[in-house]
């Protein structure tokens, strides 16, 4: 019972209306692992960094019981770097710069002991690398979740479509769902995307919550209305980490349980945005998480009796 996580481990530089950071530690896999670590201590990481990546950031992952045997450290090379800017509307962002650096020639090697992981979280990075990781699994995982973004749709759409044929759950945001499907309506977009391979689709809508689709059903989870959002970076990855972490913990991949996993994912994302970078996640306690999930329940619970004509 474990989750294999692949994705970027990175340096980010972020600008929001509330401030600006120099290079700080980020990356899709970093956020996924930090978030999923609230649910399981069986996390196996596959990623790559340069020798400019700080030891204390690797230690932070180890402290969360993340197995880093599959983290390659390349001598004389530079870690993946991303910089982004958010405007007053924190739901959209501009990528200022993406330096692939060490990712450009990354050949993922899944250590033997990870090859039977039951859950596979293919975090955001090159679709061909995501596929290479999937191909190294000895047994087909119980659930394969893939997260991606517009950057990879622009550059490697065919590789992405190829990977999508083999995944169970795709998580993307609303703009990306529109780009991938060519449909504006998210309901139509979901139909088109589900025909590409995934059995389930999660469309993240930032402060407007998230939708979970399969061919027959749809579920909506709100986002918690927060007074202040400092930095949305990593929210999508924390969502994914909470989602897959909860499924691993409960060992139930039914649609009903995925609804609960979406709420836990949304709760993790709501913490992530409260401070810059990974800071809020490193301070978070299990009690904080439980009381936030209760806030979600209170937010959407109501009694109603249908008015008959």
- Closest to ligand AMP by CB, 85 or 191: 85
| Distance in Å, CB of 162 to ligand AMP, minimum | 17
- Closest to ligand AMP by CB, 208 or 215: 208
Name the residues that contact ligand AMP, by CB under 6 A.
8, 10, 12, 26-28, 82, 98, 124-125, 149, 151, 233-237
| Distance in Å, CB of 66 to ligand AMP, minimum | 16
3-class DSSP string for the chain:
CCEEEECCCEEEEEEECCEECCCEEECHHHHHHHHHCCCCCCEEEEEEEECCCCHHHHHHHHHCCEEEEEEEEECCCCCCEEEEEECCCCCCEEEEEEECHHHCCCCCCCCHHHCCCCEEEECCCCHHHHHHHHHCCCCCCCEEEEECCHHHHHHCHHHHHHHHCCCCEEEEEHHHHHHHHCCCCHHHHHHHHHCCCCCEEEEECHHHCEEEECCCCEEEECCCCCCCCCCCCCHHHHHHHHHHHHHHHHCCCCHHHHHHHHHHHHHHHHHHCCCCCCHHHHHCCHHHHHHHHHHHHHHHCCCCCCCCC
- Closest to ligand AMP by CB, 40 or 124: 124
| Distance in Å, CB of 295 to ligand AMP, minimum | 22
- Closest to ligand AMP by CB, 198 or 232: 232
| Distance in Å, CB of 152 to ligand AMP, minimum | 6
| Distance in Å, CB of 239 to ligand AMP, minimum | 7
| Distance in Å, CB of 155 to ligand AMP, minimum | 9
| Distance in Å, CB of 46 to ligand AMP, minimum | 14
- 286 CB-near residues (< 8 Å, 6+ apart): 38
- Closest to ligand AMP by CB, 12 or 77: 12
- Closest to ligand AMP by CB, 154 or 256: 154
| Distance in Å, CB of 240 to ligand AMP, minimum | 8
- Closest to ligand AMP by CB, 143 or 281: 281
- Closest to ligand AMP by CB, 198 or 277: 277
Beta strands 3-6; 43-50: pairing state? parallel
């Amino acid at each position: 019972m474990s989750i294999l996580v692949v994705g970027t481990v990175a340096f980010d530089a972020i600008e929001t209306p509330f401030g600006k950071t120099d290079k700080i530690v980020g990356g899709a896999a970093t956020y996924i692992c930090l978030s999923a670590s609230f649910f399981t201590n069986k996390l196996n990481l596959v990623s790559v960094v340069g020798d400019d990546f700080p030891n204390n950031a690797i230690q932070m992952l180890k402290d969360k019981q993340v197995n880093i045997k599959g983290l390659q450290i390349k001598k004389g090379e530079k870690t993946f770097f991303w910089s982004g800017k958010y405007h007053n509307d924190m739901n959209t962002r501009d990528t200022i710069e993406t330096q692939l650096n060490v990712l450009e020639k990354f050949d993922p090697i899944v250590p033997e002991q990870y090859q039977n992981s039951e859950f596979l979280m293919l975090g955001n990075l090159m679709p061909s690398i995501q596929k290479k990781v999937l191909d190294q699994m000895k047994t087909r995982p119980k659930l394969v979740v893939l997260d991606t973004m517009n950057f990879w749709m622009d550059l490697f759409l065919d590789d992405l479509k190829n990977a999508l044929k083999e995944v169970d759950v795709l998580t993307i945001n609303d703009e990306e769902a529109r780009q991938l499907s060519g449909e504006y309506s998210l309901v139509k977009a979901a139909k088109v995307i589900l025909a590409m391979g995934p059995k389930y689709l999660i469309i993240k809508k930032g402060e407007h919550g998230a939708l979970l689709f399969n061919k027959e059903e749809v579920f909506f989870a709100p986002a918690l209305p927060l007074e202040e959002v400092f930095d949305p970076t990593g929210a999508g990855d924390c969502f994914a980490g909470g989602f897959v972490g909860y499924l691993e913990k409960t060992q139930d991949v039914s649609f009903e349980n995925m609804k609960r996993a979406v709420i836990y994912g949304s709760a993790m994302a709501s913490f992530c945005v409260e401070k810059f970078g990974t800071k809020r996640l490193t301070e978070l306690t299990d009690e904080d998480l439980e009381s936030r999930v209760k806030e979600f329940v209170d937010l959407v619970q109501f009694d109603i009796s249908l008015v008959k004509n």
